């Protein structure tokens, strides 16, 4: 009798686990429906930013499964790859309409789920020399070395005035010169004025704590312009992700992971 009771208990526990897994991972609820004025930005497996009730929130890994079954537009840089549901289980898994897992690595992709109109702006990065703007920035921080591992310019009309502005990215992260301090700067040049967006100076150039910054996305969300900056650490140590909004001719940090 006692043995049968243990068997029934084990069966009940397994049934509960099965039902839980089914509802969490396979029961398609399509959470987009009936939700208004929201934005979900899934940035690879590194960040999930959610805009709701006029506030931005960074969703930590322990809470991301709460946002399973939102339908996302998936982007690889500027190219839209399709619409898929995202399910979180340590990493984001892409699920199609038939509830089949899609064989696509999401680690360097962008997912957008929103009822607002939005636009993923395309841009080109042009390699650059050491011009007067870069010299001014380095001089401000008493940096002499120019052993840059990143040095590019993005030309884009960020404020919709039909005139292109320039976004500079410079860094010496992961350079072979280990005796210098590492740094990374991203700044806007508009009307010959420098507006610093991202600035980071390290005491050394070790691989343990230095990351290399770059502009990953430029977005128009609900008629507002945003800039997304990623900073990649060496090997598989992940990325810092920072979202900025352009307002009053300046970029202001909104949220980070």
Q: Averaged in consecutive runs of 10 residues, what is the pLDDT profile of the chain (257 residues)?
A: 66 66 54 80 97 96 96 96 96 95 95 96 92 94 86 93 94 79 94 95 80 96 96 85 95 97
User: Do residues 128 and 235 both lie within one domain?
Assistant: yes
Considering 69, 96, 116, which residue would you say is the last residue of a domain? 116
Instruction: Please check whether residue 1 lies inside any domain of the structure.
Output: no
Q: Count the domains in the chain.
A: 2
Considering 58, 88, 116, which residue would you say is the last residue of a domain? 116
User: Do residues 154 and 48 both lie within one domain?
Assistant: no
Instruction: Please check whether residue 4 lies inside any domain of the structure.
Output: no
Predicted structure pTM score: 0.85
d(CA 7, CA 154) in angstroms, rounded, equals 65
156, 164 contact by CB (below 8 A)? yes
User: Do residues 127 and 84 both lie within one domain?
Assistant: no
User: Do residues 238 and 166 both lie within one domain?
Assistant: yes
Beta strands in the chain (DSSP E): 39-43, 47-52, 55-58, 70-76, 79-88, 92-95, 101-102, 110-114, 118-121, 125-127, 150-156, 165-171, 183-190, 193-201, 211-221, 224-233, 239-247, 250-256
User: Do residues 126 and 213 both lie within one domain?
Assistant: yes
């Amino acid at each position: 009798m006692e043995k049968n009771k243990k068997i029934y208990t084990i069966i009940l526990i397994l049934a509960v686990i099965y039902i839980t897994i089914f509802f969490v991972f396979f029961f398609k609820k399509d959470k987009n429906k009936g939700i208004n004025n929201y934005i979900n930005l899934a940035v690879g497996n590194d960040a999930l930013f959610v805009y709701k009730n006029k506030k931005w929130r960074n969703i930590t890994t322990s809470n991301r499964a709460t946002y399973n079954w939102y339908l996302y537009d998936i982007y690889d840089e500027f190219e839209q790859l399709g619409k898929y549901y995202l399910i979180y289980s340590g990493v984001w898994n892409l699920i199609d309409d038939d509830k089949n897992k899609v064989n696509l690595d999401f680690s360097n992709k962008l997912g957008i789920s929103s009822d607002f109109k939005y636009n993923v702006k395309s841009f080109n990065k042009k390699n650059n020399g050491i011009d007067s703007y870069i010299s001014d920035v380095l001089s401000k921080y008493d940096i002499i070395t120019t052993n840059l591992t990143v040095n590019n310019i993005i030309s884009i009309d960020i404020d919709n005035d039909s005139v292109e502005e320039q976004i500079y990215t410079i860094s010496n992260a992961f350079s072979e010169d280990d005796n210098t301090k590492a740094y990374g700067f991203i700044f806007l040049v508009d009307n010959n004025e420098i507006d610093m967006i991202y600035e980071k100076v390290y005491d050394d150039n070790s691989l343990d704590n230095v990351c290399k910054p770059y502009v990953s996305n430029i977005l128009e969300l609900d008629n507002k312009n945003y800039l997304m900056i990623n900073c990649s650490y060496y090997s598989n140590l992940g990325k810092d992700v920072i979202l900025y909004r352009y307002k009053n001719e300046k970029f202001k940090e909104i949220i980070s992971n």
